[in-house]
Amino acid sequence: MLFGAGPGGYKILSKLGSGSGGSVYKAQKKGRIVALKIPKILDPTDLRRLEREATALYNVSNPNVAKIEEADLEGPTPFIATEFIEGQNLAGDVKENGVYEGKYLALLADKLAFALRDIHAANIIHRDIKPENVIIADWGPVLVDFGIAMNPEETHLTRTGLVMGTPGYIAPELLEGGREGAESDWWSLCAVLAFAALGRSPFAGGGVGSILDREERGEADLSPLPPSLAQPFSKALDPDPSRRLPVKDLIGAIWQNV
């Protein structure tokens, strides 16, 4: 899309990112700056996914979740406009400023858990919690991109044979055909917090297959964290949901290391 006139009366200012599902632009209308998501609509499934994303955003009100400004799901170019969050994503922030330690890691954990509790209270499973979907704003982390979010009662809108998510951050039970739920989002959040503390995924190394294999076996590399952090992280990232350390206990352990 050329910069200039965009759908919904928005003026496209710059491209923020793109992927197989579409593109996100920095855009403006009536002095208001937004993140304008213009998806690729190839079939009815894509439109239903966009509708689901809009519903998810309308149903959540939390300072650590990007707010929806407006959506047009019926026009010639469907879009969702959300508040534009100034700041880097967590991956870029860690690369530029280093890992999170002490109270900074604890506050990051507190605020992301606060956001995720409200998301789940709205009966929405995010399904793609990863460092790139956490923007570090002036007031703290903001969870963005509900493009593959779903109500836990809804039918999966994935194409045949496709597991949606990001290697290193997709809960291991989903790799074995398990059903998405709050537990899978919480596992992903723990993996993101481990990234913030380590500067890398705890399952990083090798190709995608190797990462997924380590997830399924629970072989997280948590060095050089001290045992007082490595042990609770390891338990929180257990591939068996029934054995996982509750996230509140992981956050408690992080605060004890402040």
Domains and CATH numbers, the chain: 4-83 (3.30.200.20), 90-256 (1.10.510.10)
Helix (H, G, I), strand (E, B) or coil at 221: coil
Calpha distance 81→161 (Å, rounded)? 31
Tell me which H or E stretch contains 95: helix 90-97
Calpha distance 142→144 (Å, rounded)? 6
| Confidence check: pLDDT of 240 > 90 | yes
| Confidence check: pLDDT of 1 > 90 | no
* Antiparallel, parallel or unpaired: β 79-83 and 68-72: antiparallel
- Dihedral sign from CA coordinates of 26, 27, 28, 29: negative
What is residue 112's predicted lDDT score, i.e. its pLDDT? 98
What's the whole-number average pLDDT of the chain?
88
What is residue 183's predicted lDDT score, i.e. its pLDDT? 94
Asked if 129 contacts 247 with a C-beta cutoff of 8 angstroms, the reply is: no
What is residue 150's predicted lDDT score, i.e. its pLDDT? 47
Among the listed residues 93, 128, 145, 185, the single catalytic one is 128
Task: Give 233: exposed, middle or buried? Use CB within 10 Å, 0-12, 13-18, 19+.
Answer: buried
Decide if 128 is catalytic.
yes
Asked if 52 contacts 157 with a C-beta cutoff of 8 angstroms, the reply is: yes
3-state secondary structure 21-75: CEEEEEEEECCEEEEEEEECCCCHHHHHHHHHHHHHHHCCCCCCECCEEEEECCC
Residue 170 DSSP one-character state: S
Band of the pLDDT at 241, cuts 50, 70, 90? very high
Global confidence as pTM: 0.86
Band of the pLDDT at 153, cuts 50, 70, 90? very low
Count CB-CB contacts under 10 A for residue 162.
8
